[in-house]
Amino acid sequence: MTTEDSSPVPDYLQKLRLDGRNYVVLGAGLGMGRQTCHALSQAGAAHVLCVDIDEHRAREVAAEIPGGLSWHGDVTKRSEVVRLAADASQQLGRINGFVDIIGMAQWKSILEIDDEIWDWEFDICLRHAYLCSQELGKLMVASGGGTMVFISSISGLSAAPMHAAYGAAKAALMAWVQSLAVELGPHQIRANAIAPGTILTPRLDAIFTDEQRTANNEVVPIGRVGQPPDIASAALYLTSDLSAFVNGRTLVVDGGVDAKFPYNTL
């Protein structure tokens, strides 16, 4: 026996479009951030405010895309984030969402981590996310909703040898995203995270040896490490209406590493 399904079929490609919408990309100057600015723009975003601590990088990326705008400052400081929110509101009008790329790891063993490293990791991986969620979130609540996308890490899902402080901060970020989803969901704001594996950003590419590149490629089931466009694509999905019912989740983007049994088998 069959049952007729008379429900309308949506235009799925249209759900990917961001026409007329305005976004902020935090950490826009290089790698994943730059690619995300391009992804949002190519999907039709009217304006993308490219935020970076380096003024030259912010301006450079903004100049690459239609409707690109730039802003520079240190978003680990409340006063700077208040300034960002005010400037974004003035330049963009309604803010439909933001993508937060900011984060960096310092490599130290647990017994070598000092208070300065610990505080720095939580500032650059978590504090700025908390500040931007509040200040930009207030604008999004007032204007009727939007999307928040954060870049976490698989280091926050599993042990992170030699950068435990980074892993702890990223794990806290994923918990923060769940709280955002629950509290801001009634305001039509969706909050999600992406947990990348190894991504060959310009910074990482500059320090990798050929041997390290080969070794990392061999670890990944699909045979290569990630590239910045892989993360930008995930950010576009979580920003667009294709993910309209996805909220409070962390999307792992690691080429299958996390799904793999750690030991080679015969």
Arithmetic mean of pLDDT, 61-77:
97
Question: Given 152, 153, 240, 243, which residue is catalytic?
Answer: 152
pLDDT for res 266? 43
Question: Given 23, 133, 170, 243, which residue is catalytic?
Answer: 170
Question: Rounded to whole angstroms, what are the CA distances from 227 to 93, 110, 187, 259?
Answer: 33, 29, 34, 19
Residue 220: is it exposed, middle or buried by C-beta count within 10 angstroms (0-12/13-18/19+)?
Answer: middle
Task: Name the band, by pLDDT with cuts 50, 70 and 90, for residue 230.
Answer: very high
pLDDT for res 264? 55
Domain ranges of the chain: 19-200+227-255
User: Average pLDDT, whole number, for the chain?
Assistant: 93
Task: Name the band, by pLDDT with cuts 50, 70 and 90, for residue 19.
Answer: very high
Whether domain 19-200+227-255 has CATH 3.40.640.10 = no
Q: What digits encode the pLDDT tens for the residues 163-202?
A: 899 999 999 999 999 999 999 999 999 999 999 998 888 7
Q: Is position 263 annotated as part of the catalytic site?
A: no
**Biggest CA-to-CA distance, the chain:** 67
Higher pLDDT, 262 or 29: 29
Q: Is position 166 annotated as part of the catalytic site?
A: yes
Q: Is position 170 annotated as part of the catalytic site?
A: yes
Question: Given 41, 153, 155, 166, which residue is catalytic?
Answer: 166
